[in-house]
Structure formats: structure tokens, C-alpha cells
Structure 1
Amino acid sequence: MQIVSWLVRRWSAEVTFQKTRAHLGVETQRLWSNEAIARTTPCILELFSIVSLLTNRLPTRERTRLTAATWYATPKPTFVDSLEAVRYAL
């Protein structure tokens, strides 16, 4: 029972890591050493989390300012759109 509970707790972390590799390109950096990758991977994940949280805290008026590229329509704002909105607000 204890092993199953550990696996269940670990599952959400594994899903997070898989999503960050697939969508953010984490662990695909072109760096010279494994230590450099080990340092930058958490920073990239933290940056994504901070920008996402800050975007969520923006007033509705500023969140609706999020623009999408006219040549590439997306149903929801992308990370770049969120980053732009946070930079503008700061």
C-alpha cells in the first residue's frame, strides 16, 4: 500500500516533467556540461511558473490585451503572449 501511495504522489511530478520537456524544451538545452543543464532546467521551470502566476494575477483589462500573431491563430494565449503582458505590466 505504501509503494502505491508513493507512486501516486510521484505521478503528478512525472507528468509535470513530461509536459515541460514537450512544451518548453526543458532538458534540450545545448550546454557544455550536465551540471549546467542541471542548473538551468529548474530556472526555466521556475520562470515559466512565475510568469504564469503573474499573468493570472493581472487585471482582466490587461489580460485581454494579450495579442496573438495574425498569421498563427491560437485559441488561448501562448507563453510568449503571457510574457509580453507581464513585461508590459511591469
Structure 2
Amino acid sequence: MRPARSDPELSAEKIVQFFVRRWRIEVTFAEVHRHLGVETQRQWSDMAIKRATSCLMILFSIVCLMANTLHKAQAIRPNTTAWYNKKAVTFSDVLSAVRMEI
């Protein structure tokens, strides 16, 4: 059950619980936007947007789960080149490691 936005009867604990639940969703969408470049597609139909976004979020989750398993076996290292020395692993590196494993 979704609470009303301004329900004065909610306890402080319930308000924090709703905030934390909402925060997880917001972070997930921000990560999908940042790593996969998902934007709002205004020219698409509503149903196409729902399908595409859901599929991309599922794909992102599968890649992260697979990368976690790979990382436990052997640390995933950042891909570097002669002109660009990365210090931290990016999603591109994770995706590359998963592709190599597949």
C-alpha cells in the first residue's frame, strides 16, 4: 500500500522506511542512466519505453552479478592504454570482463 504524500499520521520510522525504499529505486535508475545511457525516449510509445528500459535494467543487473562472481575468483582490473592509465575499474571494464568470460 502506498502512503499519501502528506499523511500526518505516519510515524517518523515509517517515513524513513519509505524514504530508504525510494532511495534504492532512485539510485538504480541513476546507475542505469550513468552506465547504460538510458534516457527518456520521447519519440517512442509508452509501451516501447517500458520494455526497453526494463530490458536494459535487467541486462545491467545480470552483468553486475556475473562481474561480482568473476571478481571473487580474480580481481577485475581496469583496461589501460599507453596514453590513458586508469586507476579505478569502470562499468566498461566490468562489461569487457564479462564478455571475455562468455
Q: Normalization by structure 1: what TM-score? A: 0.70
RMSD of aligned residue pairs (Cα, Å): 2.6
Gaps of at least 5 residues in structure 1 are none
The number of residue pairs the alignment matches comes to 88
Letter in 1 for 2:31: K
Structure having the higher helix fraction is 1
Deviation at 1:21, TM superposition (A): 2.2
Structure 2 CA distance for aligned equivalents of residues 53 and 37 of structure 1: 24
Preserved CA contact (<8 Å) 1:55 1:82 = yes
Gaps of at least 5 residues in structure 2 are 1-10
Identical counterparts, % of pairs = 45
Of 71, 74, 84, the residue aligned with 1:60 is 74
1:77 equivalent in structure 2:
89
Deviation at 1:36, TM superposition (A): 0.9
Q: Normalization by structure 2: what TM-score? A: 0.64
SS at match of 1:32: coil
Larger Rg: 2
